[in-house]
Amino acid sequence: AQSVSQHNHHVILSEAASLELGCNYSYGGTVNLFWYVQYPGQHLQLLLKYFSGDPLVKGIKGFEAEFIKSKFSFNLRKPSVQWSDTAEYFCAVNAGNYGGSQGNLIFGKGTKLSVKP
Amino acid sequence: DGGITQSPKYLFRKEGQNVTLSCEQNLNHDAMYWYRQDPGQGLRLIYYSQIVNDFQKGDIAEGYSVSREKKESFPLTVTSAQKNPTAFYLCASKEGSEQYFGPGTRLTVT
């Protein structure tokens, strides 16, 4: 079965530190990849997505992610975090109709990011 | 404003009672989804519907039921058969490959 692994459950950083959140997936075919963010008390919202083309994807609020097909990875990065980036981050994969999933998203377990001011 | 609404934000029920969570969208999306979010578990798919009058079980459908009589509505019933119903429930709709989420309903069963 497909799966998505997020390596860190909780990351604590000081403001201005650099961020990298790991995401690996298990499906070997064509995938669409997503990072969603859930700020405290707010909706889950899309941060960025990769469908095809340039493997370095830029999203909102200065976030970017790099798709490395050989490593089955889609890590999220930000050069300098702010207190307002405190949130929970979810990686998700859509593997088309693999296994009859009809294009459903498979989510990782999430990474909580706490940024200290 | 287009979007997905879920009501209520907080819901409390006694054990043994069925409860229905509302999800409405005015985005004109065909596909809709219900997820359950538990701490440290991410989002797990309960049920999904690709089109009106059709729905499919997700990974954790036991103890839940849905209906899809109208394109804009996809209510979820948490039945008394669900062994651990206390959770945060998220509804989503999909356009293309991108899903859009509602604000969620936090259900507490005691």
For chain A, what percent of residues have pLDDT higher than 90?
A: 74
Neighbours of A93 (CB within 10 A): 24
- Asked whether B106 and B77 are in contact (CB, 8 A), the reply is no
Divide the 110 residues of chain B into consecutive groups of 10 and give the mean pLDDT of each group: 87 93 96 94 93 94 97 96 94 89 95
For residue A59, the 8-state DSSP code is: -
- Asked whether B97 and B1 are in contact (CB, 8 A), the reply is no
Looking at the predicted structure, is the pLDDT value of residue A56 above 60?
yes
pLDDT of residue A72: 94
Average pLDDT over residues A6-35: 92
SS3 B86: coil
Beta strands, E only, A2-117:
4-6, 10-14, 19-21, 23-25, 32-38, 44-50, 56-58, 64-68, 73-78, 87-94, 105-107, 111-116
For residue B9, the 8-state DSSP code is: S
| Residue B58 forms contact with A (CB below 8 Å) | yes
Distance CA(A82)–CA(A27), nearest Å, equals 33
Q: Compute the count of residue pairs across chains A and B with CB atoms less than 8 Å apart.
A: 46
Distance CA(A81)–CA(B67), nearest Å, equals 43
Q: Omega into B8 within 30° of 0, i.e. cis?
A: yes
> Which of chain A's residues have a Cβ under 8 Å away from the Cβ of B103?
42-43
Distance CA(A12)–CA(A34), nearest Å, equals 22
pLDDT of residue B96: 82
pLDDT of residue A96: 64
**B40 with A109: Cβ contact below 8 A:** yes
pLDDT of residue A99: 47
Q: Which of A46, A107, A109 is nearest residue B98 as measured by Cβ atoms?
A: A46
Looking at the predicted structure, is the pLDDT value of residue A101 above 90?
no
pLDDT of residue A6: 96
For residue B63, which amino acid is it?
G
Tokens of A4: 């998505």
Average pLDDT over residues A50-59: 94
pLDDT of residue A21: 97
What are the tens digits of pLDDT across the range A18-30? 999 999 998 777 8
Looking at the predicted structure, is the pLDDT value of residue A13 above 70?
yes
